[in-house]
Amino acid sequence: MANISANKNVESVDYSAIEAMESFNKFVKKKNTFLFSITAAFLILYILLPILAFQPVLQQKIIGNITGVWVYSAGLFIMTIVLCTVYVKKASSFDKAAAAVLAEYHAKGGK
């Protein structure tokens, strides 16, 4: 087993210096806003299913014997796929923003 402390290529990073950077704080705020809003939307719509399932609005037949509950449930699957796709696309921009923050840290003399 290799001795990890013997590895001279390990990069030391001053995390408190990065945390003090304005660009890092903007990045974290933007990312958290996106993540919390998308999570809140998912949870609200998901938790509404058992609440609305017994309400007259979703008990109505829409197509043949298919009630609104089934349509709402299918919509939740579609919503999950859409939210996952949106997150995957947005994650690449978060990766670029994180790389820009690290580049700024290194440009300011950070090691």
Check pLDDT > 70 for residue 10.
Answer: no
Task: Label residues 63-85 b or e (16+ Cβ within 10 Å = b).
Answer: eeeebbbeebeeeeeeeeeeeee
Residue with more model confidence, 12 or 45: 45
Give the global pTM: 0.73
One-letter amino acid identity for 23? Answer: S
Is the pLDDT at 63 greater than 60, yes or no?
Answer: yes
Q: Is the pLDDT of residue 1 over 50?
A: no
Are 84 and 91 in contact, with CB atoms under 8 Å apart? no
Which single residue is written with the structure tokens 């998912």?
Answer: 42
Residue 78: pLDDT band (50, 70, 90) is: very high
Mean pLDDT computed over 14-43 = 93
